[in-house]
Amino acid sequence: MPMEIKVQKIHPDAKIPMYAHHGDAGMDLFAIENYNLKSGERKIFGTGLKIEIPKGYVSLIWDKSGIASKGIKTMGGVIEHTYRGEYKVILVNLSNESYEIKTGDKIAQLLIQPVETATVIEVNELGETQRGDGSFGSTGR
C-alpha cells in the first residue's frame, strides 16, 4: 500500500502537489503569486499548503529542470516530518535576466524520502580508502 501524506490548502490559489507522470520521484509544487524575479534576486514563495508526512520520512524540495535551465535555483529544501507550517520555496535567479513567475506555475518539486538516523561516533582516525582525501577534480576529467 502506498504511503499517504496529508495536504491542507490554506490559500485559495493553492494547488495540491502532483506527480506529472506515474512513477516520478518528485511532485510539482506551484506558485500562489505573480512575481518578476530579478537577476541576482532571492525570494521565498509560499505554496499555500501545509503538508503532514509520516514519522521516518523527510520532504526535500528540489529544482524543476525546466526553470533551472533558465538559471532559477531552489535553495534550502529539507523539511522535517514534525513541521506543520506552510511549505515555502526559496528561489534565486542566477541568470542575467528577470524571470516571470505566475500563479499556478510549477516552481519546484517535492520528494518524500525515508530517513536513516545515524549514530555519531567521534574518532581519532578514519578508515583508509583508495581515494583518501582527494577532492574536487582528483579523479580527472
pLDDT tens for the chain, residues 1 to 141: 788 999 999 999 999 999 999 999 999 999 999 999 999 999 999 999 999 999 999 999 999 999 999 999 999 889 999 999 999 999 999 999 999 999 999 999 999 999 999 999 999 999 998 887 777 777 777
> Which is it for strands 27-30 and 106-114: parallel, antiparallel or unpaired?
antiparallel
**49 occurs within a structural domain:** yes
Distance CA 96, CA 37 (A): 11
Are the beta carbons of 107 and 67 closer than 8 angstroms?
yes
Total structural domains within the chain: 1
Q: Count CB atoms within 10 A of the CB of residue 77.
A: 17
**130 occurs within a structural domain:** no
What's the CATH code of the domain at 98?
Answer: 2.70.40.10
* Structure-block grid coordinates of residue 54: 509520516
Domain boundaries, position 12:
6-114
pTM of the model: 0.87
Query: Which residues are CB-contacts of 16 (< 8 A; sequence separation ≥ 6)?
Result: 7, 9, 49
Distance CA 50, CA 71 (A): 27
